[in-house]
Amino acid sequence: MKRKICSCVAALALLAAAPAWAEPASAESVQKMMRVMKMESEFDNSISSIFQMMRDQMVNSIPKHANISTEQRAQIEAVIQNAWQKYQERLAGDAELRKTVFASFQQLAQKHYTQQEVDALIGFYDSPVGQSILEKQGMMKGEVR
């Protein structure tokens, strides 16, 4: 009886320690996960959404009853839209920034995900259902205002 209890305790200790023995995710698999999950287009869409919200906030901050004509208001809005558009294009086109952002994500993913978890994410998001979900998430984000 004592032997069975010791065996059970030892088995439980091994099971509890199993996550510590889990294989860390490889850089290559995390990069594949990022491709399958379309992280670059998600990054671009996020930047676009953020800048649209910022532009809208600036435009909406122009007092409605200020002593400016409709034409002047339209000109101010056009300047704001143009400035934010140029800033967004510069940011989105900054290769060094993109490299830094994705390298940081890769490091975090490797720190927190096991190889088994990354493989599972790749398996799911590389499937037709996973790709459909990614596509629908993108559409849903576009509809949120």
How many whole angstroms separate alpha carbon 96 and alpha carbon 111? 22
Give residue 5's identity as a one-letter amino acid code: I
Instruction: Enumerate residues 6+ apart whose C-beta is below 8 A from 76.
Output: 62, 68
**Model pTM score:** 0.67
pLDDT digits (tens, 9 = 90+) for 35-79: 999 999 888 888 888 888 888 888 888 887 778 888 888 898 899
User: What is the rounded average pLDDT of the residues 131-142?
Assistant: 87
Beta bridge partners of 114: 24
Contact between 14 and 97 (Cβ < 8 Å):
no
The radius of gyration of the chain from alpha carbons, rounded to an integer in Å, stands at: 25
Nearest to 84 by CA among 52, 109, 62, 115: 52
